[in-house]
Amino acid sequence: MTHTTTPAQKIPTTERVIVENYPYGFKLRTTLFDYIEFDFKKGFRHCTQTINPKTDRPNNPKKSTYYNLMTRYYDEKGHIKTITHDFNGDESINRGCKFVFENFDLYTPEMIEYIYILILSSIKVTIKAQIIYCGSNFEELKPLFEPAINTITKALKEKTNEFDKIILPIEEINAKKVPNYNPFVVRQYVSTSQI
């Protein structure tokens, strides 16, 4: 289940949590393993696996769909919950960067590299979408996105936590949108020679 509340106690993404005395059916209890699976090409997904108390063999793991970014935490009742973020659009990029900056220690260097590359790709998609769907001019957008791109490039080389410096100026970016621009207007031109 995805939550956007503030985590009570964060769990490192590499930690495999063992939950003893976990309910199994109506009467039985078992052991549950809770972990995050990471794939450099796909992202993060939450996984759980129980032991069948009748056979002492592991059941097949239950796996969520992949998300751009995920972490787990214990809520106030001690239950494990997840937080997910994506990087779709300028506001989402800013929120995700703030989250990673505050939780940098929960991720491995490989995960951090993946996140930086993902943000860089998302910035490129955001620029292209604003040009196509909002009528913005690339030369006007370029200086608004360049500081973030330069920060990511530097951070990838130095393997440092620079997520707090990847702040996109949303108001300035939105000001570059052409008012009442509609890319889906169909225009049909009829040659006067056909009339």
Q: How far, in Å, CA of 167 to CA of 141, rounded?
A: 14
CA atoms 23, 28, 33, 39: torsion sign: negative
Q: If you average pLDDT over residues 104-109, what whole number do you get? A: 95
Q: What is the 3-state secondary structure (H, E, C) of 34-93?
A: EEEEEECCCEEEEEEEEEECCCCEECCCEECCCECEEEEEECCCCCEEEEEECCCCHHHH
* Nearest Cα to Cα of residue 98 among 125, 69, 126: 69
pLDDT at residue 191 greater than cutoff 70: no
| Block residue for tokens 């196509």 | 132
pLDDT at residue 5 greater than cutoff 50: no
Q: Note the pLDDT of residue 187.
A: 57
Q: If you average pLDDT over residues 155-172, what whole number do you get? A: 94
Q: Note the pLDDT of residue 182.
A: 85
pLDDT at residue 7 greater than cutoff 90: no
Q: Note the pLDDT of residue 1.
A: 35
pTM: 0.85
Q: Note the pLDDT of residue 133.
A: 94
Q: How far, in Å, CA of 10 to CA of 29, rounded?
A: 26
Q: How far, in Å, CA of 126 to CA of 87, rounded?
A: 10
In the chain, the percentage of residues whose pLDDT exceeds 70 is: 91
- Structure tokens given for 107: 């991720």
Q: If you average pLDDT over residues 169-185, what whole number do you get? A: 91
Q: If you average pLDDT over residues 120-127, what whole number do you get? A: 96
CA dist 108 → 33, 41, 113 (Å): 20, 15, 9
Q: Note the pLDDT of residue 2.
A: 37
pLDDT at residue 3 greater than cutoff 50: no
Pairing of strands 28-39, 9-11: unpaired
Q: What angle do CA 74, 39, 57 make, to 5 degrees?
A: 65
Q: φ and ψ at 42, to 5 degrees? A: -115, -30
Q: Note the pLDDT of residue 183.
A: 84
Q: How far, in Å, CA of 190 to CA of 181, rounded?
A: 23
